Amino acid sequence: MRCPRGCEHRMNEVWGTPAQYSSRSSVCSAAIHAGKINEEQGGIVTVYKVKPVPTIENVTWMYFYESSQRGWLESTAGKFFQSSFTFDVYRIQCSKDAVGINGSFMFFCPPGCHRENYRVIGDGIYTEDTNICAAAIHDGQIPKGGGMVSGYQLPGMTSYTGSKKNGIRSNSHGEGESSFTFEIPCGMTAEKFKLNDRFTIVCPLKRDCWMERDKRAVYGKYVFSERSSLCRAAIHDRAVPYIYTGGVAHIRIVKGLPSYRGIYYAQIQSESSGPTEKAFIFENGRERFGMYVVAIEILMFR
């Protein structure tokens, strides 16, 4: 993009930091803030549009863009928006894994990582020693030609299930110390997880869960059948604090119930269903239903 001179007067339209600006920001003013061009001369900048990358601790996702001071220019703290942009990207090799990464990450993957001697363990949630770019292809985040990926470091799981998708074969594995994930699809269910597994997911925008082709149903309330869509259930349970923005949800796999009763809540209609071997609950669900979940655990799971 070619920016004219004199854009510093629009600094009140810049939200975020050089790491990522809200896509509502003035690109040229953000480029001045990031130090890419001079306000008196303007210039040409390269812009990369990316998904927002929150931290796992920032479960509200509301005041996501921080303000930052760059010389005499200061950007504005802003609320969540569905996309971001940056001027700098960190390019990695196909062999890069997530060992040593804390919190969130954003990388640019080169083309051809599906042809490398890749290591991928897991499906949707991957072990830390998995090659990030090959996992991103496996997960459908990027094509084989490469691209921008954003992901999140998670605690380890008791087990990982492999699969073959998008030309990448992942392997199964036992317990791991640390994991990472990308934004999961709304159609992902809990069926592949084992009893007592605890894990964290990052769900996309509610709009995306409504529009996704693999629009899985939700069965139950408070305690959900393993066949339920994890993210749609998270919206229903308000485990994702703000239903329109998506976000982080913490899940525990528990013993299944004899039956599940559906209810309409948070603009999601859950269905009634028969017994299943496994179910799941949200460990960051609504506080007012906390005692209900505790009572269910005492009666059914312990």
pLDDT at 62: 41
Residue 302 binned pLDDT confidence (cut-offs 50, 70, 90): very low
Is there a contact between 163 and 170 (Cβ–Cβ < 8 Å)? yes
Same domain, 13 and 82: yes
Residue numbers of the domain that contains 201: 184-302
Which pLDDT belongs to residue 267? Answer: 80
Query: What pLDDT was estimated at residue 206?
Result: 61
pLDDT of residue 75: 73
Q: Which among 39, 64, 86 is the end of a domain?
A: 86
Domain count, the chain: 3
58, 86, 114: which is the final residue of a domain? 86
Q: Which residues pair with 293 in a beta bridge?
A: none
- Domain holding 218: CATH number? 2.170.130.20
- Greater confidence (294 vs 149) lies with 149
pTM: 0.65
pLDDT at 155 over 50: yes
Residues 202 and 292 grouped into a single domain: yes
What is the per-residue pLDDT across 241-285, written as a single tens digit (0 to 9) for each?
Answer: 555 556 778 899 999 999 999 999 888 889 999 999 999 999 865
Res 301: pLDDT? 44
CA pair distance 192, 284, nearest whole angstrom = 21
What is the average pLDDT value for the chain, to the nearest integer?
A: 81
Task: Indicate whether 33 and 123 sit together in one domain.
Answer: no
Q: Does 67 lie in the same domain as 38?
A: yes
Is residue 240 a contact partner of residue 282, using CB atoms and an 8 Å limit?
A: no
Spatial separation of the C-alpha atoms in residues 69 and 33, rounded to whole Å: 8
Provide the residue type at 259 as one letter.
S
pLDDT at 204: 74
Mean pLDDT across the stretch 18-35?
87
**Looking at residue 101, what is its pLDDT?**
86
Q: Do 169 and 243 belong together in one domain?
A: no
Q: Are 272 and 194 part of one and the same domain?
A: yes
Give the tens place of pLDDT for each residue, 188-232: 899 988 888 888 787 876 666 766 555 679 999 999 999 999 988
Residues 229 and 115 both lie in one domain: no
pLDDT at position 60, please? 41
Whether 140 shows a pLDDT value over 80: the answer reads: yes
Do 149 and 173 reside in the same domain of the chain?
Answer: yes
pLDDT at position 290: 46
Q: 186 CB contacts (<8 Å, ≥6 apart)?
A: 203, 204, 208, 209, 212, 214, 215, 216, 229, 231, 232
Statement to judge: residues 101 and 174 lie in one domain? yes
Residues 233 and 286 in one domain: yes
Q: What is the pLDDT of residue 103?
A: 75
Are 190 and 250 in the same domain?
yes
54 pLDDT above the threshold of 50: yes
Listed residues 157, 182, 207: the one ending a domain: 182
Instruction: Specify whether 150 is located in the same domain as 189.
Output: no
**What is the model's pLDDT at position 215?**
66
